[in-house]
Amino acid sequence: MTEPAIKRAVAFVDGQNLFHSAKEAFGYTYPNYDVNKLAQAVAKEEGWNLTGVHFYTGIPDKADNAFWNHFWVAKTARMGRAGVDVFTRTLRYRNKSVTLPDGTVHTFLDGEERDYRPKTP
């Protein structure tokens, strides 16, 4: 079987990983990316036919962080209207502790995605 002349591609984007990678690489402190444009640029560069874009991110509850809740609800709604398949989960916050090199313990709140999948026996 021969490969097709133009390959199809589907993009899967983890919003938090993309943001933290852009922050580390370019110093961005705000998730101002456009996943459609990014996926289209990559597909065009490779000569692929982009057939879908899927986006996933955790969203803080309004009571925990109203600003970021509103931001992500609005941003994912725009993505959905632009044809991106969006999947979100609510974040929950837990205290986490780490031991620093000097031996002191630092405790902080860390957001984690809630897992609503039923537990299998």
Question: Predicted confidence band at 81 (pLDDT cuts at 50, 70, 90)?
Answer: very high
CA dihedral 88, 58, 91, 70 (to 10 degrees): -80
Tell me if 76 is assigned to some domain.
yes
Domain count, the chain: 1
Question: Predicted confidence band at 116 (pLDDT cuts at 50, 70, 90)?
Answer: very low
Question: Predicted confidence band at 78 (pLDDT cuts at 50, 70, 90)?
Answer: very high
* Total Cβ atoms within 10 A of residue 75: 20
Tell me if 83 is assigned to some domain.
yes
Tell me if 79 is assigned to some domain.
yes
Tell me if 110 is assigned to some domain.
no
* Total Cβ atoms within 10 A of residue 112: 12
- Bridge partner residues of 8 (DSSP): 49
> Model confidence over 42-71: pLDDT tens digits?
999 999 999 999 999 999 889 888 999 999
pTM: 0.75
> Model confidence over 22-49: pLDDT tens digits?
999 999 999 999 999 999 999 999 999 9
Domain that holds residue 76: 8-90
Tell me if 54 is assigned to some domain.
yes
Q: Using CA atoms, how far apart are residues 13 and 31, in angstroms rounded to an integer? A: 13
